[in-house]
Amino acid sequence: MRNLGRVPLALLDALAAGLGLGYLARDYRDALVSHGPVVSVAAVVGIAVIVVAFRGYRVLRSANTRLEAIIADELSRRKPSPRPRRR
């Protein structure tokens, strides 16, 4: 089931973050304008780090799922009895 309360809360968080960043940008406008290229490169590097971390997490999660499937398959196989069965 979808939880409808999460969407408005996420929008409220995004609004608060945007207002906070807007306030900081207004206060530090001179520093942002004079160091624009540095801020741009830092933003690109930050986004790249986030993307690489997310991709790494997805790869590790899928590898873990495959490993669990292999282990479950190996454990589910019944080993033959060492003694022959009587009929």
Write out pLDDT tens, residues 8-55. 777 888 888 889 888 888 888 887 778 888 888 999 999 999 999 999
3-state secondary structure of 78: coil
Q: 86 φ, ψ to 5°? A: -90, 140
List, for residues 53-70, the tens digit of each pLDDT value.
999 999 999 999 998 988
pLDDT for residue 75: 79
Helix locations, the chain, DSSP H: 6-27, 29-34, 36-76
pLDDT for residue 39: 82
What distances in angstroms separate CA 49 from CA 35, 40, 56, one per listed residue? Answer: 21, 14, 10
pLDDT for residue 56: 94
Decide if 58 contacts 51 (C-beta within 8 A): no
pLDDT for residue 7: 67
